[in-house]
C-alpha cells in the first residue's frame, strides 16, 4: 500500500553529505568513483520524482535521459495535464492524486512560472451511473473535497458549455492543470541544484546482459559504463524497447492527438476562473480538456486509445480526421469554439498496460532493477506519489509493493478498466 508522507521544502543534503551517507563519492585521492547508489534511466515525471525522493533519502543518484527532461517525444512533454481525483471505485488513484497535490504545489512555488494552476476539475455524466456513486463514496471515505452539481447548477455556473444530455457533474475545487514540460524540467533543476546528478546519455537495453540475481552495470551508446547498487528504468514508451522480451508484449504505446483552439478575442468565458479543467465521461469514452491556460488556447482531446506507434519514428502531425472529430465535438459541447482557429497541436503517446494500472515492480531476473511505467494516459498527475513509493521500495526493506502495480498483473491483451 502507498503511505502518506509529509512533503515540505527543508534544506537538502549537498553532494558531499550525500556521498558520505551512501559510502561512495571520492576515494582516498579525492577522485570521484563512477558508481552510484541508484541510476534512474528516464527523466520523465516518474523518473524525475523517483530521483528526487531518493536524493532526499540520502542516496547518491544519477538521472539519465537520452533526449532531455520532458523532451518533445516524451510522454511527460507537452504543454499541460489535467489533475483529478475522480476515479470511481479505484481509491488507490484518488489517494495518489490527492497526495501528489501537495508536491505539485511545492514545485509550483519553486518555479518562476506556475507549474500548477488551481482552476478546479469537473467531470460530468450523462446519467447517474455506478462510477458516480463510487467516486462520491471514495471521496467521502478519504475526506477529499468533492461537490456534486446538478444540471441546473452546471448551466448556472458554466453557460458557455452546451449541457444537453448531461445529468450531473462532480467538481473538485482544489485540483486543476499541471504545466507538464515546465514541471519536469523544474524538478530536474531542483534535483541538480540540491546535489543530484543528471546526464544526457542513451542507455543500451540490458536485456541480454549475462548474470543472474543482479544487474551490475548498464552501458551507454557513448561507451560509458554506469555502475550502481540499484537501477530504475522509467522510460515511458521506450520501456518495451528496453526490455523487449519481458515488456514488449505487455506495454502498448499508442498515438494520441491533442488540440488547442483559440477562444474568441476578448471573450473571457474560457479562461481559468471562468471554466475549470474538465472531463466528459461520456459512458467511459472520455473527452477532456483545460481552459485557456497562459493564453495558449483551449485544450481538447479524446481519451480513446489511438493506433499503435513507435516513439522513435514518424513526424508528430495530427490527422485531418482527428481535427474534424474535435470540431464536431466542440459543436456539440462548446459551440462558441467549433469554428475557431486551431492554434497548436501535439501528437504524444500513451504507454498502456493491459488494464490501465501502473507498473511498479522489480525485474524478475534482477532484484536490483525496478521497473516504472505504463502510465496509460493518466499517470502524470501521480508522479510525486509514484516517486515516493519507488524510493521507499529501494531504501526500506519493510516497504510493501502495491499488488495492482505488479508485473504479474500485466496481461498481453488490452482491456481497459481504469478511467
Are 306 and 254 within 8 A, CB to CB?
yes
Alpha-carbon distances, residue 183 vs 198, 207, 379, 394 (angstroms): 16, 31, 14, 24
| pTM flag (> 0.85) | yes
Which cell is 348 given?
504524444
Which cell is 228 given?
550502481
Instruction: Find the largest Cα–Cα distance for the chain.
Output: 74
Alpha-carbon distances, residue 88 vs 127, 249, 406 (angstroms): 14, 28, 21
Quote the CA–CA distance of 87 and 85 in Å, as a whole number.
6
Quote the CA–CA distance of 325 and 301 in Å, as a whole number.
10
Q: What is the dihedral of CA 89, 90, 93, 99, to 10 degrees?
A: 50
pLDDT tens-place values along the chain, 419 residues long: 343 333 333 333 333 333 323 334 433 333 344 689 999 999 999 999 999 999 999 999 999 999 999 999 999 999 999 999 999 999 999 999 999 999 999 999 999 999 999 999 999 999 999 999 999 999 999 999 999 999 999 999 999 999 999 999 999 999 999 999 999 999 999 999 999 999 999 999 998 776 678 999 999 999 999 999 999 999 999 999 999 999 999 999 999 999 999 999 999 999 999 999 999 999 999 999 999 999 999 999 999 999 999 999 989 999 999 999 999 999 999 999 999 999 999 999 999 999 999 999 999 999 999 999 999 999 999 999 999 999 999 999 999 999 999 999 999 998 899 98
Alpha-carbon distances, residue 325 vs 182, 240, 257, 258, 300 (angstroms): 29, 30, 11, 12, 11
Angle at which helix 130-142 crosses helix 91-110, to 10 degrees, equals 60
Amino acid at each position: 500500500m502507498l503511505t502518506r508522507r509529509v512533503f515540505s521544502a527543508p534544506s537538502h543534503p549537498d553532494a558531499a553529505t550525500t556521498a558520505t551517507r551512501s559510502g561512495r563519492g571520492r576515494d582516498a585521492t579525492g577522485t570521484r568513483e563512477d558508481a552510484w547508489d541508484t541510476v534512474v534511466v528516464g527523466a520523465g515525471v516518474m523518473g524525475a520524482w523517483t530521483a528526487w525522493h531518493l536524493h532526499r533519502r540520502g542516496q547518491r543518484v544519477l538521472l539519465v535521459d537520452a533526449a532531455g527532461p520532458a523532451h518533445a517525444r516524451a510522454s511527460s512533454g507537452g504543454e499541460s495535464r489535467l489533475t483529478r481525483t475522480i476515479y470511481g471505485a479505484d481509491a488507490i488513484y484518488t489517494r495518489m492524486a490527492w497526495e501528489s497535490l501537495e508536491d505539485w504545489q511545492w514545485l509550483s512555488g519553486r518555479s518562476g512560472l506556475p507549474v500548477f494552476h488551481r482552476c478546479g476539475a469537473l467531470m460530468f455524466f450523462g446519467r447517474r451511473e455506478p462510477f458516480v456513486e463510487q467516486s462520491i463514496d471514495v471521496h467521502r471515505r478519504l475526506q477529499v473535497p468533492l461537490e456534486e452539481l446538478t444540471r441546473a447548477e452546471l448551466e448556472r455556473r458554466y453557460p458557455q458549455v452546451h449541457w444537453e444530455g448531461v445529468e450531473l457533474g462532480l467538481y473538485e475545487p482544489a485540483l486543476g492543470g499541471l504545466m507538464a514540460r515546465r514541471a519536469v524540467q523544474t524538478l530536474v533543476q531542483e534535483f541538480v541544484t540540491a546535489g543530484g546528478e543528471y546526464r544526457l546519455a542513451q542507455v543500451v537495453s540490458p536485456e541480454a546482459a549475462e548474470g543472474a540475481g543482479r544487474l551490475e552495470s548498464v552501458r551507454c551508446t557513448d561507451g560509458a559504463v554506469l555502475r550502481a547498487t540499484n537501477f530504475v528504468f522509467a522510460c515511458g514508451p521506450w520501456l518495451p524497447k528496453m526490455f523487449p522480451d519481458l515488456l514488449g508484449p505487455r506495454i502498448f504505446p499508442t498515438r494520441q492527438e491533442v488540440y488547442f483552439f483559440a477562444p474568441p478575442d476578448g471573450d473571457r468565458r474560457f479562461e481559468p476562473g471562468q471554466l475549470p479543467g474538465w472531463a466528459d465521461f461520456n459512458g467511459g469514452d472520455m473527452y477532456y480538456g483545460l481552459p485557456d491556460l497562459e493564453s495558449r488556447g483551449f485544450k481538447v482531446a479524446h481519451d480513446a486509445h489511438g493506433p499503435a506507434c513507435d516513439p522513435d519514428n514518424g513526424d508528430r502531425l495530427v490527422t485531418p480526421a482527428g481535427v474534424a472529430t474535435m470540431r464536431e465535438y466542440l459543436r456539440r459541447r462548446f459551440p462558441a469554439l467549433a469554428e475557431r482557429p486551431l492554434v497548436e497541436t501535439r501528437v504524444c503517446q500513451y504507454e498502456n498496460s493491459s488494464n490501465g494500472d501502473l507498473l511498479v515492480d522489480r525485474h524478475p531476473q534482477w532484484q536490483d532493477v525496478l521497473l516504472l511505467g505504463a502510465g496509460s494516459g493518466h499517470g502524470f498527475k501521480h508522479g510525486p506519489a509514484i516517486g515516493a513509493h519507488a524510493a521507499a521500495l529501494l531504501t526500506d526493506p519493510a516497504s510493501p509493493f502495491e499488488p495492482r502495480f505488479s508485473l504479474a498483473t500485466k496481461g498481453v491483451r488490452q482491456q481497459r478498466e481504469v478511467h
